[in-house]
Structure 1
Amino acid sequence: MWVPTNSLADILRILLMVPIYAAVSFASYLFWNHSTALLLIRDCYEAIVLTSFFYLILNYLSHDPEEQKDIFRKVGLSRENDREARRRGAPLAHWVFPLQSVGWKPEDGLYFLQLMKWGVLQYCVIRPLTTLAAVILNYIGLYCDDSWSPGWGHLYITIIMSISVTIAMYCLIQLYMPIAGHLAPHKPLLKLFAVKAVVFLTFWQETLISGLEDVGVIKNVR
């Protein structure tokens, strides 16, 4: 099957995640004294994966940016589309869980697209910046990834990342919902779950294990 160049580039960047994760994880065992910095840099690749998947979805929708905008004008979550739905007697669209009770919506579908884009791509800025900050703090002895004490940088980096990754994944899912029918031929749902598992679940798994270790539920064997 022929794949356009821009979609192929996004697919390749996503597929490279596996060898990059494997290589950096192996290097962290070889150079264990630099493992924190290496693993932080490895995790930074999540931002590239998320960005690539976001643009892959848009390219699946249409390779023409203007056509993408036209589709979102018609189906995006917005007050304008709510008015059209009421006129036709159709059910109104809502935000996905857990914000389904929030009444505010963007004025039109194009603004909805921009909001979702900002929500996803903010992670692609914040992740590298927090990674850089964590690497610097680690080398000057102020990071301490084993501690949740407010005296160490790990706590603040984790809080910032928790907020950023949650917003990014929520916006990616919300972006997908109105255009799910348009994307059905490409079967992107499993791909979406895979990216969600890599970016969202991996982060929260590491955070949970670190927190359990800090309170003594899990013992550090190093």
Structure 2
Amino acid sequence: MALTLLSAVFLIILHLKRYRAPKEQRQIIRICFAPFVLAIVSFAEIYDYRIAAYMDPIGAVYEAFCLCALYLLFIQFTIPSGTFGEDMFDAMQSAVEVPGKRDAQVNWMKTSWVMVFQYPITEIIAVVVLEATQAEGTYCVSSWNPRFGHLWYMIISTLGIVLAVTAIFKFHGRMKRLMKARRGMWKLLCFKGIVFLHFIQSWVFNILITHNLVKSSREFSYGDLTYGLPNVIMAVEMVLFSLSFWFAYSAAEYDSNARPKQHRLSFFQAMFDAMNPSDLFLGIVRIFTLLPTAFGSGRGGGRRRNGRESPLTGRTD
């Protein structure tokens, strides 16, 4: 945990001292803090097994918001001069690089927005189910019986993460050239690696314990199997991921040599800007206005501008 803290904090400080692209670096700082949050959760769960069931969802909820931050970062890479207003959807539609895909799914951008930003809502609902059933004594981490909350927590949480991850991978696939220029695949793999391992390890340990493939003993307690071993593994992995972030989310591309014409915010201005979560919460609220049209079948995912340039990308529709 200490090693992860040092790695994450020093990288974040470098970004704050080179804060020349707030819309991008705000998301990067949020993502870079994820390994430390998960390391703290792992440490707390190992320290006291009695609080483990209540602590574990904290990491999952933070992961959900970080996936949204990664999605906003990718959008900013695609339309660097734009905002997250209504024109964004028109600009994204015209920025699709895959031949034949620009009009194949007219509402693909709105659909992906809904699929990504539903994840924090879904994860919070899953956490409410977990906490409520844990308090009532009807949550059993080693049982898949519908009478217990564990089954429903896993179903809700899994549905949310699968939808969000699918949408981001699809987005990346449509913007490969732009993403390659900004090391998008490395950014995707480094953070998705955390999400994937956390998700897979939860399922693996649950299956092993549920089917008695691993059993407790006098030397290795039920708590060791359920909380101790998975979190020791997670804590070690977070050190490795936090170090990989130095390459994937490097602050070097924001220094004065790389961006000589961009104004740098002061350290404290940058810190307060990065701590402002309003864009994430507005993104969640926005899905309710997009739902009626996001999964529609009509042509024209946004307002088409035949023969005119998009105001955000400069490309002709």
Is 2:87 the counterpart of 1:73?
no
CA deviation map 1:97-147 (0-9, x unaligned):
xxxxxxxx53x2xx2100011111111210122112211211221111121
**Matched letter for residue 11 of structure 1:** I
Structure 2 residue aligned with 1:212, among 208, 211, 214? 208
**What is aligned with 2:4?**
none
**What is aligned with 2:123?**
127
Q: Secondary structure at the match of 2:35?
A: helix
Is 2:70 the counterpart of 1:53?
yes
| CA 1:201–1:29: 2 relative to 1, 3 Å | closer
Q: Distance in 1 between matches of 2:96 and 2:159?
A: 24
Q: Distance in 1 between matches of 2:32 and 2:88?
A: 25
Q: Distance in 1 between matches of 2:93 and 2:60?
A: 35
**What is aligned with 1:114?**
110
Q: Distance in 2 between matches of 1:199 and 1:129?
A: 18
Post-superposition shift, 1:31? 2.7
**Matched letter for residue 13 of structure 1:** R
Post-superposition shift, 1:75? 4.5
Taking structure 1 as the reference length, what is the TM-score of the superposition? Answer: 0.80
Q: Distance in 2 between matches of 1:198 and 1:51?
A: 15
Q: Secondary structure at the match of 1:142?
A: coil
**What is aligned with 1:160?**
156
Give the RMSD, CA atoms, in angstroms. 2.4
**What is aligned with 2:138?**
142
Structure with the higher helix share, 1 or 2: 1
Q: Secondary structure at the match of 2:58?
A: helix
Structure 2 residue aligned with 1:193, among 180, 189, 192? 189
Post-superposition shift, 1:197? 1.7
Higher relative contact order (CA 8 A, sep 6+): 2
Is 2:13 the counterpart of 1:17?
no
State percent identity of aligned pairs.
21
**Paired residue total:** 198
Range 196-205 or range 170-179, more displaced = 196-205
Contact 1:119 1:171 in 2 (8 A): yes
Q: Distance in 2 between matches of 1:182 and 1:143?
A: 45
**What is aligned with 2:172?**
176
Post-superposition shift, 1:172? 0.7
Contact 1:14 1:52 in 2 (8 A): yes
Q: Distance in 1 between matches of 2:161 and 2:172?
A: 17
Q: Distance in 2 between matches of 1:2 and 1:47?
A: 24
**Matched letter for residue 92 of structure 2:** F
Larger Rg, first or second structure (1 or 2): 2
Q: Secondary structure at the match of 2:147?
A: coil
**Please, which runs of 5 or more residues in structure 1 have no aligned partner?**
82-90, 95-104
Is 2:49 the counterpart of 1:32?
yes
| CA 1:68–1:3: 2 relative to 1, 3 Å | farther
Taking structure 2 as the reference length, what is the TM-score of the superposition? Answer: 0.57
Q: Distance in 2 between matches of 1:68 and 1:185?
A: 21
Q: Distance in 1 between matches of 2:211 and 2:76?
A: 45
